[in-house]
Structure 1
Amino acid sequence: MKVSDILRLKGNTLYTVTPDERLAQAVQTMAEKDIGSLVVMEYGELVGMLTFREINQVLAKNGGSVGTLLVRTAMDDAPVTCTLETDMDEVRRMMLGCHARYMPVMENRMLMGVVSFYDVAKAVVDSQNFENKLLKAYIRDWPQDEAAPQQQGQPG
C-alpha cells in the first residue's frame, strides 16, 4: 500500500497556517477543526509543521501560556516528509524513528496532503481485516478432495 492510497481514501482537506500568524490563533484553529496539526506554508512552500507536541513544549516553557508568540517560534522547521509513492511500511518506520505523528506528503516541492499515525494505523487494520475476510472465505470454500475417504462414525 502506498501513501497515495491513504490520501485517496482520506480526502484532500488540508489546514495550513503561515509562520507569522499568532500561535494562539493556530491553537484556536486546531481546536475548532479538531485536528492535531497544521502545515506551515510561506509563499507556497512548506516551511514547517505545527503539532500539539510543539504547542505543549511552548506551554511548558511559558507557564501554560502561548502569549503573543508567533507560529514560527514553535513550529518544527524541518519535518520529515514522504511522497505519494512511499510504501506504508516505510512511512511507519519513518514515523516511529523520529516520533512523528504527522507527515507531510510532498511531490516535486508541492504539498499533496498530510498522513497521520492514525491514518497509517487505520490503513493497516483495514488491510488486515480485508485479508482476514478473504482467508475466511477461502477456507469456507475449501474444495473437498473426492479421493480422500470420508470419516464416518465406526462402531467401537
Structure 2
Amino acid sequence: MKVRDILRVKGGTLYTVSPDEPLARAVETMAQYDIGSLAVMEHGQLVGMLTFREVIDSIARNGGTVGNVTVRSIMDDHPMTCTPETELDQVRPMMLERHTRYMPVMDGGMLMGVISFYDVARAVVEMQSFENQMLKAYIRDWPQEDAAPTGSETPGSQPTAH
C-alpha cells in the first residue's frame, strides 16, 4: 500500500496557516476543526509544520499562555516528508524514528496532503484485516484429500481386497 491510497481515502481537505499568523489564531483553527497539525505555507510553498507538540512546548515555556508569538517562531521548519508513491512499510519506521505524528506528502514542490500516524495505523489495520479475510476464505475452500471411506470400509477397519 502506498501513501496515495491513504490520501485517496482521507479526502482533499488541507488545513494551512501562514508563518506570520499569531499562534493564538492557529490554535483556534486547530480547535475549531479538531485537528492536530497545520501545514505552514508561504508563497505557495511548504515552509514548516505546526503540531500540538510545538504548541504545548510553547505554552509550557510561556508560563501556561499562548502569548504573542507567531507560528514561525515555534513551527518545525524542517518537517520530514514523503511522496504519494512512498510505501507504507517505509513511512512507519520513518515516523517512529523521529516521533513524527504528522507528515506532509509532497509531489515535487506541491503539497498533496498531510498524513497522520493514526491514518497510517488505520490503513495497516484495514490491510491486515483484508488479508486475514482472504486467508480464512482460502483455508475454508482448501481442497480436501479424498480420505472418505468407500462403501466397503467401516470406520476403523482396514480396506479389504476383493
Q: What's the TM-score once normalised by structure 1's chain length?
A: 0.94
Structure 1: any 5+ residue segments left out of the alignment?
none
Q: What is residue 41 of structure 1 aligned with on the other side?
A: 41
- Aligned partner of 1:111 in structure 2 is 111
1:102 counterpart residue number? 102
Aligned to 2:160: none
Per the alignment, residue 126 of structure 2 pairs with 126
Alpha-carbon distance in 2 for matches of 1:153, 1:121: 51
Tell me which residue corresponds to 2:143.
143
More displaced stretch, 133-142 vs 105-114: 133-142
Q: Give matches, 1:3-152, under 5 Å.
A: 3-146=3-146, 148-149=147-148
Number of equivalent positions:
153
Partners in 2 of 1:144 and 1:119 — Cα distance?
41
Deviations 1:80-126 (A, max 9, x none): 00001111011111101111000000011100000100000000000
Q: Write the distance in 2 (CA, Å) between the matches of 1:47 and 1:60.
A: 24
What CA distance in whole angstroms lies between the structure 2 residues aligned with 1:118 and 1:143? 39
Kindly state the Cα deviation for residue 153 of structure 1 after the two structures are TM-superposed.
4.9
Matched residues in 1 for 2:4 and 2:88: separation? 10
2:23 partner letter: L
Kindly provide the amino acid, as one letter, of the partner of residue 43 in structure 1. Answer: H
Unaligned 5+ runs, structure 2: 158-162
Superposition misfits of 4+ residues, deviation over 3 angstroms: 152-155
Secondary structure in structure 2 of the residue aligned to 1:106:
strand
Q: CA deviation at 1:154?
A: 3.7
Write the letter of the residue equivalent to 2:60: A
Larger deviation, residues 136-145 vs 105-114? 136-145
Residues in 2 aligned to 1:91 and 1:153: alpha-carbon distance in whole angstroms: 56
Q: Secondary structure at the match of 1:35?
A: coil
* TM-score for the superposition, normalised by structure 2: 0.91
* Two-structure CA RMSD over aligned residues (Å): 1.3
What does the per-residue CA deviation read over 1:10-44, in whole Å, with 9 as the maximum and x for residues that have no partner? 11110000000010010010001000000000000
| AA in 2 matched with 1:108 | G
Q: Which has the larger radius of gyration?
A: 2
